[in-house]
Amino acid sequence: MSPYHPQGDAWVGRQVADAPLAKVMLEKRGEGTATGVGLDGVPRLYGLTRLSATPDASEVYLAVGIPRSVALAGSNRALVRNLVLLGLVAVGALVAARVVAERLVLRRTEALTAATKRLAGGDLGARTGLAGDDSELGHLARSFDEMAEAVEQRAAERARAAAELVRSERMAALGRLAAGVAHELRNPLSVIAGRIEILKHQMAPGQAPTFAVLTRSLAQFEEAAERMRRIMEGLSTYSKPAKPDPTPLDLGELLRATSEVLAYEARKHQVSISVQVPPMLPQVVGDRSALMQVFVNLATNAVQAMVETAGGQVTLKAYESDGSGSPIVAEVTDTGPGIAPDALAQIWVPFYTTKAEGTGIGLSIVRSLVEQQPGAAITVESRQGAGTTFRLTMSAIGADVLARSSAS
């Protein structure tokens, strides 16, 4: 073997047969390729071939080596180029898949999710807007829209039914009050008729009523007329349409009007009504008709709670809760049997009632009307056998608020 190597000195004193390449040559005994590390430490690819035999029957082999980095440079460049192209194609495919998925799936899913959240939040008009889609999501969206439409229609029907029931309850209560008012008007009318008879008697031929008789008659006429005015004003206030109209109000005057309206109903059941209002009580802002309905409903319930026990007492009270500028409190208290604890927790629930003839919407209407008033709240306290107190709290108004309310 006749080796040539750029670093031939490294072969001096070494057995050629011990070289790894020589062993490969002897094993292959012909043409082939091999890999190995040269004396310079560089990995190489070798091409091997056996030359013709020499006259002395010895074998001659030829091996040509080239560094692997040089031999594979083109392949490596092609591999890198192909990997880069493959990466770009993969990224493009992912972007395209994202766009398609967003257009065909994500946007529709988000629209369906958004409509679901809006419906859950109370927006009964929420729709997906995907009714024309024939995909599976489109079918799901159509089903959702149909369900939402049905829910909206049922809610509207229920609202109409509730409004009609409220109107019916209001008219029924108004009818009951009107009967009592008609009876209550008899007293001042009787006073007027009696004084007229006295005046007619005093005005017989040749006679004239004395100044004292005229003065007393006019005073009684005025008192009877004022009583009828208060009664009719209370009834008129109660029967007004429930259109909110916040104005400065005197709670004491409203409580007295409530007492006038319910006077006959209370006497019929041997229940007394008293009004306790301190002088110079600050005014509040609220809707007169709504608050009148609140007090009439609460006082009527109080009277009816004592139908079976004669001698009951209903107290209508208004006061400042804790000094000047503090909230104004109006209370309707009865000495009836009270409310059971399990019923007390349900009294504000619509259609809940313990009366066989009741509709169960009176107190729910009361709470709704109170919540419509600026800064108002209502609570209830009751003990069985010790009566019930409904407490309405409203903010007092100052002179500046009064001026703005009057101007508006």
64 - beta bridge partners? 47
CB 220 within 8 A of CB 261: no
Residue 113 lies in a domain: no
355 part of a folded domain: yes
Q: For the domain that residue 396 is a member of, what is the CATH number?
A: 3.30.565.10
Query: Is residue 23 included in any domain, yes or no?
Result: yes
For residue 222, being part of any structural domain is answered with no
**Count of CB atoms within 10 A of residue 393's CB?**
18
* Domain termination site, one of 18, 39, 71: 71
Are 250 and 236 in contact by the 8 Å Cβ rule? The answer is: no
- The answer to whether residue 106 is domain-embedded is no
Per-residue pLDDT tens, the chain, 408 aa: give them: 455 555 566 656 666 666 666 777 767 666 777 787 766 667 888 877 777 655 665 677 777 878 877 878 888 888 889 999 999 999 988 888 877 776 666 777 777 787 788 877 777 777 777 766 666 767 777 787 878 888 888 888 877 777 776 666 666 666 666 666 666 676 677 667 777 776 777 676 666 667 777 787 787 777 777 767 766 766 666 666 556 678 888 898 889 888 887 887 888 888 899 999 998 888 998 888 788 878 988 988 888 888 877 788 999 999 988 766 678 999 999 988 888 888 887 777 766 566 655 555 678 778 888 888 888 899 999 888 888 999 999 988 764 444 444 444
Which tokens sit at 325?
Answer: 């500028």
Length reported for the chain: 408
Last residue of a domain, one of 71, 88, 103: 71
CA count, 13 A, side-chain hemisphere, 216: 11
Contact 22/36 with Cβ under 8 angstroms?
Answer: no
DSSP letter (8 states) at residue 26: H
Q: Looking at the domain assignment, is residue 370 inside a domain? A: yes
**In whole numbers, what is the pLDDT of the chain averaged over residues?**
76
The pLDDT value given to residue 277: 92
Position 65 in a domain: yes
368: left (phi over 0), alpha (psi -120 to 50) or beta: alpha
Q: Quote the tokens at residue 157.
A: 């029907």
Q: Which residues contact 314 (CB under 8 A, 6 or more apart)?
A: 266, 271, 272, 273, 274, 299, 302, 303, 306, 332, 333, 334
Question: Domain count of the chain?
Answer: 2
Q: Residue 363: is it exposed, middle or buried by C-beta count within 10 angstroms (0-12/13-18/19+)?
A: buried
Distance CA(314)–CA(335), nearest Å, equals 7
User: Does residue 187 belong to any structural domain of this protein?
Assistant: no
pTM: 0.49
Neighbours of 19 (CB within 10 A): 18
- How many angstroms separate the Cα of 334 from the Cα of each of 156, 260, 314? 38, 17, 5
End residue of a domain, out of 71, 93, 126: 71
Q: H or E segment at 394?
A: strand 387-394
Domain that holds residue 284: 241-408
